[in-house]
Amino acid sequence: MKYKINKKLDGVLKSMGKLEEAVISTLKESGKPLTLAEIAQRIGESEKKVFKELRSLFEKGLIDTQNRQYALSSR
């Protein structure tokens, strides 16, 4: 299943840092939920840094998590 960037995400992308953009881009391109390790490996950053960004994106309502996998929010 492909994930589309919703209007909320589109507006927030302009104010994101490079790592947040990389996480969103990676999730969008994958077309499927990814684990923390998969995201970190694809971006080339530590899991600790990526986790901080994932948490921030989750709090903003931009991503969802289930069974330790992350995907763009469908909200």
Q: Which domain holds residue 63?
A: 7-72
Q: For residue 30, give the CATH number of its domain.
A: 1.10.10.10
Establish if 18 belongs to a structural domain. yes
Which amino acid is present at 40?
A
Q: What rounded mean pLDDT belongs to the chain?
A: 86
Residue 1 belongs to some domain of the structure: no
List pLDDT tens digits, range 11-33: 555 567 899 999 999 999 999 99
**Domain total for the chain?**
1
Residue 23, phi then psi, degrees to nearest 5: -65, -50
Burial letters for 41-60: b for 16+ Cβ neighbours within 10 Å, e otherwise? ebbebeeeebeebbebbeee
On whether the pTM is more than 0.85, the answer is no
Name the residue among 53, 10, 57, 3 with its Cα closest to residue 33: 3
Rounded CA separation 39/8 (Å): 22
Q: How far apart are CA 3 and CA 26, in angstroms?
A: 12
